[in-house]
Structure 1
Amino acid sequence: MNIFIRELRAHRKSLIIWSVAILLMVVSSMGKFSAYAQSGQSMNEIFSNIPKTIKAVLGMGNFDLTKASGFYGMFYLYILLMATIHATLLGANIISKEERDKTTEFLMVKPVSRFEIITAKLLAALFNIVVFNVVTLILSIAIVGKYANGEQITGEIAILMLGMFILQLVFLSIGTGIAAASRNPKAAPGAATVVLLVSFVLSSAISMSSKLDGLKYITPFKYFEAENLLDGGIQPVYVILSLVIIVVMVCVTYVFYKKRDLNV
């Protein structure tokens, strides 16, 4: 319990900063929606002239941009990217920070096993992810609701947040797995971020070319796209793939952390 509380305190400031960043992101995106709406121009016509490749990179999809939910769906990709970066860095740092900061002796003097240490750290990371997701959900419903003009947006935002939560867990586990397996604790966050960015770029490439569609199963960013979530909900096959990644990477975390020589 002491380790769990210590980790919560250690990452409290980071969680607040990321939550504020999400607030600014949602406020900014819906501010743009309001500006376009007040201009009297048809947003669907404006964005229809943008090339398909640019739309794919920007995550625009085929949303009805005259609705608040559609405009929010377009910006969902950036919220998702922020959430997964936070999860990846959290996973990598929460495992490697004792070695990085030369405070490993704090753990070693505790009458607890490495299994208990990892479990406490993972629970603390999970708590941070849940709080981050709930904060994003509440902020999104509150802010988007002001521009919805009677449109029911709660259910749509909730399904988007559920998809985001699963993806957060995927990249959290990838971050912990890489950190546990890495011999250089300082390099773990960077390596985990590279994996995330490669996955993101691959997802954009798949959206730009139908020839690459078969690769969608290897990049988690294709599992929970806003357009698919709003049209057909969460697909079981992607949930299963996500669970496989999470279970494998959590096992990697336990196995490698138990075997490694911790640098004091």
Structure 2
Amino acid sequence: MNIYIKEMKSSVKSLIIWSLVMIAFVASSMGKYAASSSISGQSLNDMISKMPDALKSMFGSGNFDLSKAIGFYGAMFIYIVLMAALHASLIGSNILSKEEDDKTAEFLMSKPVPRANVITSKLFAALTNIIIFNAVTFVSSLYFVGYYSKGENISGDVLKLMLGVFALQLIYVSLGLYFSGFLKNPRLSSPITIGVMLATYILSLAIDIDNHLSRLKYLTPFKYFDAKNLMNGKGFEIIYVVISALIVVLCIGGTYVFYQKRDLKI
């Protein structure tokens, strides 16, 4: 419990910054929607439809009704997903490895606390950070999207999207934990985790641009909880839920196995 409390105290500043960033992003995104309302909804949709597929994929548009607040939010949601994945990657890759980077591993491990308990405490701290991140983003999304929705019920769509974000974050925080537990050099865990995250994001863009790459969709978590599928009827596909659960379980299990065997840098 002391390790968990220590981790939460040390993450307060970064969590506040991330929360403010997410609130500001949602607010500014919906502010852009209000500014674009001077253009008729159909004209805006027509203009987007004429954009090259590469641009539509990059900007997250082309599959949403931009005349509606929830549609505009859906188009902007890819950026929320990307920031959430970065947040989770940083937490997962740093929460274990920082003890070695900060030269506090010897002090921590000299206490009568099994390494498994250290992993568990830090895992719960990472999960708490993710839950708070999602809660802040969810509440701010409900408020700002709802404000411009003219009475339309948007809570169901926002909830589905945020559940997808939470699942995506679980994947990347688990990958980060795994790399920090497996790699002999803890300083490599963060760049490798972020590199994997960015590579899977780029792959998801490539799949949107070229349908011939659609078979690779199982290799990128960004396609597991796609905003357009969640909002347009498909919802959560069981195959992606199963793959996500397997990744999380295997990565966390691997963290316990390898971190307890690895020689720590002290």
Q: Within 5 Å, give how 1:173-252 maps onto structure 2.
A: 173-231=174-232, 232-252=234-254
Identity of matched residues, %: 49
Structure 2 letter corresponding to 1:237: I
Structure 1 letter corresponding to 2:21: A
Q: Within 5 Å, give how 1:31-180 maps onto structure 2.
A: 31-40=31-40, 42-180=43-181
**Secondary structure, aligned partner of 1:186:** helix
- 8 A Cα contact 2:48 2:62, kept in partner: no
Provide the aligned C-alpha RMSD in A.
1.1
**Secondary structure, aligned partner of 2:264:** coil
The range that moved more, 105-114 or 236-245, is 105-114
Instruction: Using the TM superposition, give the Cα deviation of residue 74 of structure 1 relative to its aligned residue in structure 2, in angstroms.
Output: 0.3
Instruction: Using the TM superposition, give the Cα deviation of residue 109 of structure 1 relative to its aligned residue in structure 2, in angstroms.
Output: 2.6
Q: What is the rounded CA distance, in whole Å, between the counterparts of 2:23 and 2:203 in structure 1?
A: 28
Instruction: Using the TM superposition, give the Cα deviation of residue 10 of structure 1 relative to its aligned residue in structure 2, in angstroms.
Output: 1.2
Q: Show structure 1 runs of 4+ deviating over 6 A.
A: none
Structure 1, unaligned runs of 5 or more: none
Instruction: Using the TM superposition, give the Cα deviation of residue 57 of structure 1 relative to its aligned residue in structure 2, in angstroms.
Output: 2.2
Q: What is the rounded CA distance, in whole Å, between the counterparts of 2:242 and 2:29 in structure 1?
A: 32
Q: Deviations over 1:199-240 (max 9, x none)?
A: 000111011001000000111100001000012111111000
Structure 1 residue 23 corresponds to structure 2 residue 23:
yes
**Secondary structure, aligned partner of 1:38:** coil
Instruction: Using the TM superposition, give the Cα deviation of residue 40 of structure 1 relative to its aligned residue in structure 2, in angstroms.
Output: 4.5
- Equivalent position of 1:254 in the other structure: 256
**Secondary structure, aligned partner of 1:106:** helix
Q: What is the rounded CA distance, in whole Å, between the counterparts of 1:178 and 1:71 in structure 2?
A: 36
Q: What is the rounded CA distance, in whole Å, between the counterparts of 1:220 and 1:85 in structure 2?
A: 13
- 8 A Cα contact 2:30 2:73, kept in partner: yes
- 8 A Cα contact 1:179 1:188, kept in partner: yes
**Secondary structure, aligned partner of 1:65:** coil
- 8 A Cα contact 1:64 1:70, kept in partner: yes
Instruction: Using the TM superposition, give the Cα deviation of residue 45 of structure 1 relative to its aligned residue in structure 2, in angstroms.
Output: 2.0
- 8 A Cα contact 1:203 1:222, kept in partner: yes
Q: What is the rounded CA distance, in whole Å, between the counterparts of 2:180 and 2:60 in structure 1?
A: 30
Q: What is the rounded CA distance, in whole Å, between the counterparts of 2:40 and 2:51 in structure 1?
A: 19
Q: Deviations over 1:18-50 (max 9, x none)?
A: 111111111111111000103446321221221
Structure 1 letter corresponding to 2:53: K
Q: What is the rounded CA distance, in whole Å, between the counterparts of 2:78 and 2:25 in structure 1?
A: 11
TM-score, normalised by the number of residues in structure 1: 0.97
- 8 A Cα contact 1:61 1:227, kept in partner: no
Structure 2 letter corresponding to 1:24: A
Structure 2, unaligned runs of 5 or more: none
- 8 A Cα contact 2:184 2:263, kept in partner: no
Instruction: Using the TM superposition, give the Cα deviation of residue 58 of structure 1 relative to its aligned residue in structure 2, in angstroms.
Output: 2.1
**Secondary structure, aligned partner of 2:222:** helix
**Secondary structure, aligned partner of 1:187:** helix
Structure 2 letter corresponding to 1:161: M
